[in-house]
């Protein structure tokens, strides 16, 4: 629709595709409109508003977001006599609990899928990054990434974690629902899935465990952006401002659909009463946007395959991630 100039005045913009759209110049910078309407960047969670900033300009008003939380199966924890996870957990706690559960119940304690939407948080928790700050180079072969990958893939090798394919499913959420794994890192989307497919599953959720360099998380977010071709950008902006207003976000939050992008809502009753929503909302504080620049797809595929090579072909973590970094660099040079 954008190619033919018939796109709507404003639309949903996913963070993963955002760099491509911003770089192609099809989005309207919103800073002037925001200033005029008295909408400040400070009203939104920093991670989110920064994510939709490109070359110093704001191109989208964050609408909602998700982060990863550590979901745990309470029955399996009870059965193994292990205490439930807390927000203060570390990698060592994760490993100890997962090992105890695997031993006591025969069900794997944790899941380490070859998934570029999960693995990076271990890199962040280890003080690393996937890409350099300007996305001009990848850090997939840096010591921080290799250490994180060694811990991550080592979990399966040491027998306290599985990949979903080991239990015959494609997604760890399904394994969790079936009770084939005790803990998974998933986002808020797991909640409606469990309540419709596995309504009997009793679970809780806390922040992902901290690594040697502290906490780290991924944030998946969408914004509303205005088209550069809009005939009436002012009206489009007004509409966005209305949809993302505090009042409307509170309604969306209370309906259970999505988490609000505004700081003012962090004390909303709904969040205080809902353990899972709160874990996911507060997770944003330590989170990095799920976005790797213009070659995001290449980076994602390279990361997934680097993990798969370790799992399926027994390649060393170092060789596999060095190869992944080379693939990304080749694409960046194109």
Name the DSSP letter for residue 90. Answer: B
253 in Cβ contact with 274 (< 8 Å): no
Asked whether position 319 contacts other proteins by CB under 8 A, the answer is no
Considering only 246, 308, 318, 326, the residue that binds other proteins (CB under 8 A) is 308
How big is the site for other proteins, counted in residues (CB under 8 A)?
26
149 in Cβ contact with 307 (< 8 Å): yes
How far is 10 from 233, CA to CA, in rounded Å? 8
Residue 266's alpha-carbon distances to 50, 232, 254, 257, 263, in angstroms, are: 18, 33, 13, 16, 6
Q: Which is nearer to other proteins, 119 or 281 (CB)?
A: 119
Contact pattern for other proteins over residues 82 through 121, marking x by CB under 8 A = ----------------------------------------
For residues 16-35, which are near other proteins according to CB under 8 A? Answer: 20-21, 24-26
Asked whether position 267 contacts other proteins by CB under 8 A, the answer is no
Considering only 265, 302, 324, 325, the residue that binds other proteins (CB under 8 A) is 302
From the list 35-43, 133-141, 162-170, 203-211, the region that binds other proteins by CB under 8 A is 162-170
Residue partners of 60: CB distance under 8 A and separation at least 6:
13, 18, 27, 30, 52, 223, 224, 225
Q: Which is nearer to other proteins, 12 or 257 (CB)?
A: 12
For residues 272-301, which are near other proteins according to CB under 8 A? Answer: 295, 297-298, 300-301
Residue 196 beta carbon to other proteins: minimum distance, rounded to whole angstroms: 18
How far is 138 from 283, CA to CA, in rounded Å? 25
Residue 298 beta carbon to other proteins: minimum distance, rounded to whole angstroms: 4
Cα 200 versus chain centre, distance: 26
Asked whether position 168 contacts other proteins by CB under 8 A, the answer is yes
Residue 16 beta carbon to other proteins: minimum distance, rounded to whole angstroms: 9
Tell me the CB-side half-sphere exposure of residue 217, using CA atoms within 13 A.
29
205 in Cβ contact with 274 (< 8 Å): no
Name the DSSP letter for residue 68. Answer: -
How far is 9 from 216, CA to CA, in rounded Å? 36
Residue 308 beta carbon to other proteins: minimum distance, rounded to whole angstroms: 5
Q: Which is nearer to other proteins, 227 or 244 (CB)?
A: 227
Q: Which is nearer to other proteins, 44 or 110 (CB)?
A: 110
Asked whether position 309 contacts other proteins by CB under 8 A, the answer is yes
Structure tokens at 262: 């505004």
Asked whether position 166 contacts other proteins by CB under 8 A, the answer is yes
Residue 33 beta carbon to other proteins: minimum distance, rounded to whole angstroms: 22
Residue 309 beta carbon to other proteins: minimum distance, rounded to whole angstroms: 6
Helix locations, 88-210, DSSP H? 91-105, 120-125, 143-157, 172-178, 190-197
Asked whether position 312 contacts other proteins by CB under 8 A, the answer is yes
The side-by-side arrangement of strands in the sheet containing 69-73 is 161-162, 108-111, 181-186, 69-73, 203-206
Asked whether position 137 contacts other proteins by CB under 8 A, the answer is no
Binding footprint of other proteins on the chain (CB under 8 A): 2-3, 20-21, 24-26, 163, 165-168, 295, 297-298, 300-302, 305, 308-309, 312-313, 327, 331, 334
């Amino acid at each position: 629709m954008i190619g033919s100039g018939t796109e709507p005045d404003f639309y949903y913009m996913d963070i993963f595709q955002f760099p491509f759209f911003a770089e192609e110049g099809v989005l309207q910078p919103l800073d002037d409109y925001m200033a005029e309407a008295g909408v400040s960047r400070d009203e939104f969670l920093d991670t989110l508003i920064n994510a939709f900033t490109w070359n110093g300009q704001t191109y989208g008003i964050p609408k909602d977001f998700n982060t990863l939380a550590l979901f745990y199966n309470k029955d399996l924890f009870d059965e193994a006599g292990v205490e439930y996870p807390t927000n203060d957990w570390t990698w060592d706690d994760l490993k100890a609990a997962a090992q105890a559960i695997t031993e006591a119940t025969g069900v794997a304690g944790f899941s380490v899928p070859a998934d570029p939407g999960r693995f990076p948080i271990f890199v962040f928790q280890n003080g690393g990054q996937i890409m350099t700050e300007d996305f001009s180079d990848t850090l997939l072969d840096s010591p921080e990434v290799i250490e994180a990958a060694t811990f991550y893939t080592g979990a399966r090798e040491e027998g306290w974690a599985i990949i979903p394919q080991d239990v015959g499913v494609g997604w760890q959420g399904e394994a969790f629902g079936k009770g084939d794994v005790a803990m998974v890192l998933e986002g808020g989307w797991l909640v409606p899935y469990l309540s419709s497919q596995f309504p009997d599953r009793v679970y809780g959720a806390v922040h992902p465990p901290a690594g040697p360099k502290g906490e780290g998380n991924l944030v998946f977010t969408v914004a509303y952006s205005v088209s550069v071709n809009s005939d009436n950008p002012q009206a489009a902006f007004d509409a966005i401002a209305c949809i993302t207003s505090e009042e409307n976000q509170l309604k969306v939050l209370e309906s259970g659909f999505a988490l609000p992008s505004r700081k003012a809502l962090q004390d909303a009753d709904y969040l205080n009463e809902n353990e899972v929503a709160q874990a996911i909302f507060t997770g944003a504080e330590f989170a990095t946007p799920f976005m790797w620049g213009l070659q995001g797809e290449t980076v994602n595929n390279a990361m997934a395959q680097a993990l798969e090579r370790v799992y399926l072909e027994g390649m060393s973590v170092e060789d596999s991630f060095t190869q992944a970094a080379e693939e990304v660099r080749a694409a960046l040079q194109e």
